[in-house]
Structures are given as C-alpha cells and as structure tokens.
Amino acid sequence: MYDGIVQELIDELGRLPGIGPKSAQRIAFHILQTESFDVTRLSSVLIEVREKVKFCEICGNVSEEVTCGICRDPRRDPTFICVVEEAKDVVAIERTREFRGLYHVLGGAISPIDGIGPDDLRIRQLMTRLADGTVTEVIIATDPNLEGEATATYLSRLLKTLEIKVSRLASGLPVGGDLEYADEVTLGRAFEGRRTVN
C-alpha cells in the first residue's frame, strides 16, 4: 500500500477497463515522474472530452455536435444503414472504406446475463429512422459472438415486417490467418458461406 494520494490514483486508474493493479501502479509511477505540464494536459482533456462529446441524435455515434459528421455528410448514401453495437465499430468499418451509407449505433447487444434487453438498445430509434422508406437495406454488423448473434437474430426478425432488405456481415476465415488455427465454428461458417470462383 502507498501513501494516501498515490494509492488513490492507483485505485482510480484500476477502475479503467483493461487496467489491472500492476498496470495501474506502473501508470501512477509514470505520472509521478512526468512533467507537471503533461499531466495537466491529460487531466484537462479528460474533463473536456466528457463535457464536449455527445452522442449523435440520429445514429448514436460520438459527436461534438448535435449530429455526427457522417449523418451530416451529404455524400453518404442514405439508402443504406449499417447497424453496429458501439461507436468504435463505426471507426473500424470506416477504416475499410467499403461502406458509404449511414450508421446506427445500438449502444450494446442483447445480453440476458447482463440484464440488457432490446429496450435498453437504440432499436426504437432505428425503427423510426426506417419509417419513411428512404432506407432500402439494413446491414447488421453486430459482433460475431453470442450477444451479437442474438441481437442480429432479434433485429432480422423485427425487420422482416418491413419491406427492407436485411443483410449480415459474412463470417469466415480471417484474411492473413492460418486455416489450421481457425476454430471449428469459424471454419464451419467459412464452408457454409463458400463462394463459387469459376
């Protein structure tokens, strides 16, 4: 145990995701030896980000304005909506440069264990966006895990009632991966989703 305030900092850092007690200690000691100036900057960016950053009223993405840069961009195709769990998934997909439509961030995935049901996600807002008939395809891009699959199944059933095409991102072998190291579920999916090449 450390003297008062140092232990307090270690405790605070330890509350951040992915930071165990050892990392918290390492970071705390790093901060003790860092220029006051740099610590002040980190401290004020923390406050600023919390004050400035809001969530886009339309899609739920992070944004410094009422609506996010993607929703405001007139070059984006409004007939496609890609549904993701978190704002960081938007960034991941944007990096691929494959998708030029709009997004809808659910704010999580259905998880009975964590007590998260459909009403805790931004599904109602999605239905409202789909109501005017602009959107022709909804691409469900939830995580390929239990919660993500449950959410995708729930959504695809819900959207069946509308005249909208619903698709799901392909599962299969990761590019650059090694077939022998693929788990059986992934390999099974890769077979299921195989494509004719000649």
Residues that bind its own copies (CB under 8 A): 1-6, 8-9, 12-13, 15-19, 23, 25-32, 34, 36, 38-53, 62-64, 68-69, 86-88, 91
Beta bridge partners of 3: none
* CA nearest to 143, candidates 75, 93, 194: 93
Nearer to its own copies, 13 or 140 (CB): 13
Nearer to its own copies, 49 or 131 (CB): 49
Q: List the structure tokens of 113.
A: 């264990």
- The span from the CA of 30 to the CA of 35, in Å, is 10
Closest distance of CB 171 from its own copies, Å: 22
Nearer to its own copies, 25 or 151 (CB): 25
Torsion-angle region of residue 108: left (phi > 0), alpha (psi -120 to 50) or beta? left
Torsion of CA 75, 104, 159, 134, to 10 degrees: -30
Nearer to its own copies, 105 or 135 (CB): 105
Closest distance of CB 103 from its own copies, Å: 14
